[in-house]
Structure 1
């Protein structure tokens, strides 16, 4: 228990030192952190995340000359979750956040489960999006399903989650964060996996958001071909989709189909790396930078 308490203190100190802020809007409390001074990029984290995970992913994939606005989505950390929350409401919350920051237009990067609200924001506020980037996206098609019993065991109790990732990491890395079973784990990749799993703590501060993602947001986007709330073909914003061919969570075939439906989109297909795109951070960062440049997004100033 001594190690558990020490590591919990460390992760909470780490989050506090990131100096996030909370604003109040018609959509409730919204937590965010902002780094950099260049053209704004809204970073939308995946499942079991928060603004802190958004910053971690942005550091791996977005050029440091951009300004990153990383938001905690509904129910994550200090962001509230409204009654009868919807993905469309989450998109409205992004608009409220940008209003409060006096940002009229931004590029949007949605990671994993964050792609659903990123797509909704682009559909609802196209005049505010200069470019859309979806990384390992939850997309229409087949998707993973977690039983509520399993969710309640592992994601509502900090100690149970900590013990699982500490002593049974190899058991969870495939099912929870999408590392392919056949993928060769180098010491560097092992460190990356351990770091990501550790930074999901405290799960007790992310449980409401994760529950919304797993049982509302992700199923909605998986089944969006039957849902009039997702007219994906109407997206006119330049879109880049990034997907690994061996991703066991956000299936590559779904990413391919997504690109076929979005008119001005293209796909960066990586041969391996799983859901975390292990081994491809620099390639992904370079491709995102080129994509933003090609769509007249400046890394030097807000235009």
Structure 2
């Protein structure tokens, strides 16, 4: 999976070169809308031992911490966990290290993220929380559950993008490759061009989902996928987080899965092009008492499975009394 993700991220830079000439007016219009969705007044900054963390909240009820994946931010977290708001939960959605207004601290790693989230929860007055992590966000979610068992009511790694034992670690980028990708990721215009003019290719590569699934999905699911794609913009405000996640998902993590005691349900789709179904099955076997649900189709964006996926999460939380 590591090399696949790396090739996809490098390919995204080339994909972003899709023609954008003459697009200045719609680009400015769309970017204004995208920036408004992640406007600073919609979130707050909380100081932690590892620097400030940006966080937004929505809904009322038992707290549910949603850790977004690659390309995200608090806005993507709120989009992803929207069904939990409807189910009656208080969704807490931070911007992870390197995303939007959360800086990337020196020496950043999943354990530092977990500590920062614990400090953030202290500032919000939350002692215990159900934790979900999507894609690369599953790694700090797992770290949090291991490090803070008394604070973790339940754990949900969703399409978990991580390096499992037995896979070869991917060699780091060359300085030239890293420079080229960074240039592409800091160009909102180029990424907007790809998202606008080559959306199917972007969905199939960067988001690891079969575009035909989206085309055949309900209008509600198509709107959700569109919102997830658009939540990557402005990509220049998320570039450091994207590169950070690329490193973390391509290296083994110092997480003792056997020490995780929270009720755990991991979810994925068999056709996820990032191969997270294999990761979900690994976690179900490595975490004591964990369960896995692997849908036959849906890709990395779990297209057509959104209602079922969050209903399964709600069902486990109801079963363990987190309601």
Equivalent residue of 2:79, what SS?
Answer: helix
Aligned residue number for residue 301 of structure 1: none
1:38 to 46, 61, 79: 61
Q: Following TM superposition, by how much is the alpha carbon of 1:196 offset from its aligned partner in structure 2, in angstroms?
A: 1.8
Does residue 90 in structure 1 map to residue 113 in structure 2?
A: yes
**Alignment of 1:169 onto 2:194:** no
Q: Name the counterpart of 1:158.
A: 188
How far does residue 63 in structure 1 lie from its aligned partner after superposition? Answer: 4.2
| SS of residue in 2 equivalent to 1:31 | strand
SS at 2:70 equivalent: coil
The number of residues matched between the two structures is 291
Residue matched to 2:230: 198
Q: Which runs of 5 or more structure 1 residues have no equivalent in the other structure?
A: 299-303
Structure 1 stretch displaced more, 117-126 or 165-174: 165-174
CA–CA separation in structure 1 for the residues paired with 2:71 and 2:169: 15
Aligned twin of 1:235: 260
Match of 2:82 among 59, 63, 69: 59
Deviations 1:237-275 (A, max 9, x none): 110001101111143122111111111210111110101
In the aligned structure 2, how far is the partner of 1:184 from the partner of 1:8? 23
* Bigger Cα displacement from structure 2, 126-135 vs 54-63: 54-63
TM-score, normalised by the number of residues in structure 1: 0.90
Q: Are 2:208 and 1:178 aligned?
A: yes
1:40 touches 1:68 (CA, 8 Å); kept in 2? yes
207, 210, 233: which is aligned to 2:242? 210
Moved more, 10-19 or 45-54: 10-19
Query: Are residues 1:269 and 2:294 paired?
Result: yes
Q: Are the counterparts in 2 of residues 143 and 250 from structure 1 also a CA contact under 8 Å?
A: no
SS of 1:177 mapped into structure 2: coil
- Structure 1 residue aligned with 2:149, among 99, 103, 126? 126
- What is the CA–CA distance in structure 1 between the aligned matches of 2:237 and 2:201, rounded to whole Å? 23
In structure 2, distance between residues paired with 1:136 and 1:42 = 16
CA drift of 1:154 comes to 3.1
TM-score by length of 2: 0.84
Name the CA distance, whole Å, in 1 between partners of 2:270 and 2:264: 19
Distance 1:174 1:116 in 2: 23
Give the stretch that moved more between structures: 181-190 or 2-11: 181-190
1:236 aligned counterpart, secondary structure: coil
| SS class of match (2:255) | coil
Alpha-carbon contact 2:70-2:136 (below 8 Å) kept? yes
| Corresponding residue of 2:101 | 78
Indicate conservation of the 8 Å contact 1:144/1:249, yes or no: no
Paired residue for 2:308? 283
Partner of 1:254: 279
Report the secondary structure of 1:151's partner residue: helix
- What do residues 124-149 of structure 1 show as CA deviations (whole Å, max 9, x unaligned)? 11111010011111134359979636
Q: CA deviation at 1:181?
A: 6.2
